[in-house]
Structure 1
């Protein structure tokens, strides 16, 4: 296996499937099976999932709420998604632990770094809910920070496209696909990989990011096996560019 410990970042929107809101049970079970497969291989898996399918903090203005209140609502949305994923994983026979950045002792353990690492060492899938527990930080930032704290080998950002393109491939059929690209090139080209806080955390700690299509069955396992899937963002200069 190329990676011993991974941090998988999933968007809340990915759980909607073809729905306009909420959680699609089919997508939830699909993700649980993908995670189960790599966990069974001995990979230590941590997961951060967004809450955009329920509520995003940046929507606060639309509801007449202040940003801080909205961000806390968004954190609670991530906990709902995390609980759903935990249930799906346990239904599939995977031992999990849900750690929260805010105290909700009835349903989550509080986030303690050493406890999280110990759970991973015991082969449990660890889900980090509620972001980092503070407003003004996205779940991308939470994914980067938690990955650094638990000393993950890589951040795997699951999306619905095959990786990083020069433009939105769903809108521009001539968009260039990058199989390998450096942090520097991502910044200079103004590519949207993660928010700047999250991206800078990874760059400063030399933590590679792989953006890939989580909706293609087997992609997660192929990545862990060392196959070239999606786009690798690292400190090295761009090695190869493919056009699709």
Structure 2
């Protein structure tokens, strides 16, 4: 894996083209009016903390849940491979959707889909249910991180490092608390149903907290912005 990672890193280094763009104030303002103002940041921080608390329950216990499902026949780790395969294209897919629909709207959708995936084994405790759960989980958890950090960066480009630090810290706290609570619930109930329902509810609450940010978004006009940048460059 180390050798493969080194080769892929080398290829990315070759193909990566860094083209910094110098925007005038008017064009820069047009780009960042597509996201909420920095005053909306507490909603994002709380929602992202709830995401960290909720998603980690599936991330921690999905293989253990699969082991209790007879249809896997002792091959429970297969479910984690599905999570990984679903995660591979997720950042590209969610970034593309964000360009079309807006970041907040895409983030809300990703969290709703993830909450469905977390709760799926409770209502469909079978190999099919766990595969669907793994697909929805893998396809969203990295995409949510990408969208949330991109949104934070665009909300406050001059102070993005500090804001992303806050997001990462609250996310980490959620990751520590989530498995502890889930472990306590599962020890009392002798199954993972209550933990999964709780985790799904937490993520869904986080998605609901973000709904009020959709009204700030405009439909991005990337082509128009690029055209303005080209025109300004030619004039200069």
Q: What TM-score does the superposition give when structure 1 sets the normalisation length?
A: 0.25
Higher relative contact order, chain-length normalized (CA < 8 Å, sep 6+): 2
Bigger CA radius of gyration: 2
Counting helix residues as a fraction of each chain, which structure ranks higher? 2
Q: What TM-score does the superposition give when structure 2 sets the normalisation length?
A: 0.25
Counting strand residues as a fraction of each chain, which structure ranks higher? 1
